[in-house]
Structures are given as structure tokens and as C-alpha cells.
Structure 1
Amino acid sequence: MNMRPLLLATLIGGISMNACALAPVVNDPSVPPPIPQTVPQATASSKTLYELMSRIDQLQNEVRELTGKVEEQSYQNAELKKRLSTMYSDFDERMQNLESKASGSTPATSNAPAGENADDAEQPADLDAMPPSGQAPAGIAQIPSAAPAAPSESAAAASGDLEYKQAYDDLRNGRTAQSIEEFKAYLDKNPAGPLSGNAQYWLGEAYRVNQDFSSSRAALLKVLESYPDNPKVPDALLKLGYIEIDLNDKPKAGEYLNRVVNEFPNTKAARLATEKLQSISGQ
């Protein structure tokens, strides 16, 4: 039997099978290939997260800006409140002076620099220029001495008057915190000087304008205790009454105001105390 044709046929069949095995698989063109979803989903998720983070940063910036504006507004409101208090007190003082001039009355004098009224129960009035060095401020009786004071003593007296005037001017012009420190420094140097009682009173007034009622009360009480003969005593009592009204203690306020009326009649402080008593009794 001739084996050559059979071997050839077998060889051709094997080659055909291998060719079929190596041929690429042809997909049906009518069926679209599957679309991978993992990469687009990851891209969309990253974009959303970025947008959220950007929005959070924007909101945080807006919150910081609003916080700064609120703090600035609070500061401005506090400053405005202080200025309004000073302006109101100055207006009331000017009205009192006009009423005194209209009625022909002469304001009482005190041991204060020229321009400061002893019965002035509100903010300081305008100060005149201080007297030359070595002279006492207007309203202070000059006591003759056996011999002229030494130059150093005269310089010290003039320096003390100027320190008082500076503190007084700062209070009148709304520099309350600065005036507080200056009045305290003046009192430390001159605890028993001719202007010390006035300085103690204006220190209490400065604290009151600054809404520090506790310190104001302590300073005004010291006027009563340490300077009982000072012309500012009725004003100090009046302001103590005002403080208690601000603190909503009307009985205590009534005690101070009645003391002004009973102990210091026919004074401007007594008139103001009477008006305040009538106002709180009608509330």
C-alpha cells in the first residue's frame, strides 16, 4: 500500500487546523463592543469632590469676612456709645449754663481751674488758659507766705496744674482712657493738693463715661470720704445716684439723690437730683 498520499493528506489537514486556530475571532459588526465604565466613573467622582472642596473653601472665606465685619461693627458701636454719652453730657451741661445765664444766677465757684464749674454735674466745660507759672488756678485763694517759694517748688506747682489741666482736657475731648491714667497719676503725686478733690471726682466721671460703674462708684465714694469739704461732693452724690439707676437699683439711687436734695439745697446738683427722683418715681 502506498502511504505517501495518506501522509500528505494528514499533513495538509493539520496545517489547516493550525491556521484556523491562529485566525482572529471576528465579532459581529451589528453588536457594539462593551464600553468600560471604571475610568469615567472615577473621573466624575474626582470632579464632584473637587467642586465640593472649592465650595467649602469659598464658604469658609465668606464666614471669615462676615466675622471680621461683625467684630468691626461691634467696636464701632462701642465707640459710638461712648461718644454719644460724652456728647449728651456736654449738651446737658451747656443747657444748664444757658438756663443759669437766663435766670441771672451766677454759678458757684470752686477750687477748679478757670472755666470749670463746681455745680457742673455733667461733662467738663471748656477750660480757660492756665495761669502763669507760680500762680494758683482761678478760684483758689492765694495764701501769702512768709517768703517766696523756692524756684523748684514753683516749678513743681506749675507742673502739677498742667498735669491736671491735661487730664481734664482729655476727658472733655473724649480721650477717656487716657484721662483716667492721667488723673490717677496726678492723684498719686498730689493726694492732698488743692485740685485733688476735683481730680478724684473727674476720675469717677471718666470711669462712668467708660461704662465701668464699679470703678466709678469707688472713685466717687472716695470724694465723699477723702474730700468731704470739696465743692464737688454734691455732684459726686448725684453721680452715685445715676450709677445706681443705670444698675437698676432705684432704692439705693433714691438714697443718694435725697442726700443731694437735703444736704445741698439750692444747688444745681439738687435741682437735677429732684428731677431724677421725679422721673424714677413715675416709672
Structure 2
Amino acid sequence: MKRHSQFPLLIVAAAMLGGCASTPPEADPVVQKLSEMDGRLLRIERVLANQSLLDLSQRIEASQNEVRVLRGQLEELQHAATKSQDQQRELYGDLDKRLAMVEGGASAGVLAAGAQVGGLPIPQGDDRANYQAAFDLLKDGKYPEAAAAFKQFLVTFPNSQLLDNAQYWLGESHYVTKQYQDALRAFRTVIEKYPDSRKLPDALLKIGYCNYELKNWGEARAALDQVVKQYSDTTAGRLARERLAKMQSEGR
């Protein structure tokens, strides 16, 4: 009896195994589910990869734009610095030529006698207008008028942002007419009252020049040495080195 009862069970089991073995892989639900998940994962990876490339591209573009802006700003600063240096060299050259003319025959007394020296060049003008007018007098070789204009400027506009420049050019007005003591006082005032002025290197250089003309060799060398040490890369630094070399050749 037992043998007969087990026989049908064996037939059913065999049929089930035969059915599983005959099912193709692509029809297997498990395989289908795995394939679907694999496809979804692949799509997600592609989306993430594309997004990363987009972010990277945007960051690169932003960096390139920033570099272009910074390069433009640098070029503007370099242009402004070059223009300022050229103007300063032109002014030094102009003043040197005028000084040579004075040394060649024209005297300060003759210049002063023929000058109409007054107060402010533009009595109703503001500080900038009068500063520019006084500076134009200096460039035109009208040194006594320029000196008077700068002196009056310092009195009339005590709060002007141009005080240090006016004080410096007052010194130049005296220096070019060989009034070295007056020039020395004016340049020293720049050093003492305006220690943050951009005219500091030039004022210190001219202190050395004035002392050289007054034959104060030690003070001249000290001032010129200071210019070389503190402002070596400027026009004043170059001129200080040249004057020191001249002093050495003269045995000063």
C-alpha cells in the first residue's frame, strides 16, 4: 500500500522539476526583476554623470570669467602706473631744463622783478582749481608766482587733500631758483607733517639735493641713502643712486 501511495507524489515532483528546468531565463520573474533594476541603476548613473559634467563646466566657465575680469583690472592698473611714471619723468625733465636755464644766466632776482606776484590765482575758485593754477604757473616757469600761489593755497585751504602736494611744489618753486634754504624747509615740512604722502620719496630726495647744494655733505648722503633703502624701485630711488655716485666720484 505504501508503495502505491508514494508513486503519484513522485510523478508530481518530477513534473514540477521538469517545469522549472524548462522555463527560459528571460521569462524568469527574478531575472526580469534584476534586469529592470540594472537598467534603472544605469540610467541613474548616466544622469549623475551628466550633472557632474554640467557642474564642472559651469565652474570652469565662472573661473574663466573671473580670470578675464582680473586680467582687465591688472592691465588698467599697469596702464595707470605707467602713465603716472611717464608724467613724473616728464616733469622732472622739464624742471631740470628750466633749472639749467636759470643756472645759465637768468637770475632769480630778474624773474622776481618782472613778476606780478599776488595771492590765489583764482580767488573765487576751490582748492583743486587753485592748486592746478599754481601748478601751471610752475610748469610755465613762473616760479615766484607759483611759490606765492602755493603759499597762499596752504593758508586758504588748510583742510584740502592736496596740502602735501602743494607743500612739495612750494619747495620745488624755491629749489629751481636756487633758494635752497627755503626749499629745504619746505621739503622737510612734507616729511614732518605728511608722513603718509606719496610725495615723501621725492621730498626726501630733494632734501638730499638741497643739502648737496649747501655743501652739507653728511646730511645730503644720509637723505639720499634713505631714499635708496626705502624707495629703491622708484624714480626717486634711481636719481638718489645717481647723485650718490656723483658724490663718490667727487670725493664727497
Q: What is the aligned counterpart of 1:236 among 198, 203, 220?
A: 203
Q: Does the C-alpha gap of structure 1 residues 213 and 247 become closer, same or farther in structure 2, counting only changes over 3 Å?
A: same
TM-aligned CA deviation for residue 169 of structure 1: 0.5
Whether 1:172 and 2:134 are equivalent positions in the alignment is no
- The separation in 2 between residues aligned to 1:274 and 1:207, in whole angstroms, is 23
Listed as ranges, the gaps of 5+ residues in structure 1 are 1-103, 126-155
Q: Does the C-alpha gap of structure 1 residues 194 and 178 become closer, same or farther in structure 2, counting only changes over 3 Å?
A: same
- The separation in 2 between residues aligned to 1:116 and 1:157, in whole angstroms, is 29
**Alignment TM-score, normalising by the size of structure 1:** 0.47
TM-aligned CA deviation for residue 117 of structure 1: 3.5
TM-aligned CA deviation for residue 192 of structure 1: 3.5
1:202 is aligned to: 169
Q: Post-superposition, which runs of at least 4 consecutive aligned residues in structure 1 deviate over 6 A?
A: none
Whether 1:223 and 2:190 are equivalent positions in the alignment is yes
**Alignment TM-score, normalising by the size of structure 2:** 0.52
Listed as ranges, the gaps of 5+ residues in structure 2 are 1-78, 97-122
- The separation in 2 between residues aligned to 1:275 and 1:247, in whole angstroms, is 18
Q: Does the C-alpha gap of structure 1 residues 282 and 105 become closer, same or farther in structure 2, counting only changes over 3 Å?
A: farther
Amino acid at match of 2:88: N
2:216 is aligned to: 249
Over aligned residues, Cα RMSD in angstroms? 3.0
Amino acid at match of 1:160: D
Amino acid at match of 1:228: P
Instruction: Assess if the C-alpha contact under 8 Å between 2:227 and 2:240 holds in 1.
Output: yes
- The separation in 1 between residues aligned to 2:182 and 2:91, in whole angstroms, is 21
Task: List per-residue Cα deviations over 1:162-194 (Å, max 9, x = no partner).
Answer: 100111000111111001110011111222421
Q: Does the C-alpha gap of structure 1 residues 247 and 272 become closer, same or farther in structure 2, counting only changes over 3 Å?
A: same
1:212 is aligned to: 179
- The separation in 2 between residues aligned to 1:228 and 1:185, in whole angstroms, is 22
Bigger relative CO (Cα 8 Å, ≥ 6 apart)? 1
Q: Higher helix share goes to which structure?
A: 2
Q: Name the SS of the counterpart of 2:241 in structure 1.
A: helix
Aligned positions, number: 146
- The separation in 2 between residues aligned to 1:194 and 1:217, in whole angstroms, is 22
Q: Does the C-alpha gap of structure 1 residues 166 and 204 become closer, same or farther in structure 2, counting only changes over 3 Å?
A: same
Q: What is the aligned counterpart of 1:270 among 237, 245, 251?
A: 237
Amino acid at match of 1:167: A
2:88 is aligned to: 117
| Residues 1-283 of structure 1: pairs in structure 2 closer than 5 A | 106-107=81-82, 109=84, 117=88, 121=92, 123=94, 159-283=126-250
Instruction: Assess if the C-alpha contact under 8 Å between 2:95 and 2:176 holds in 1.
Output: no
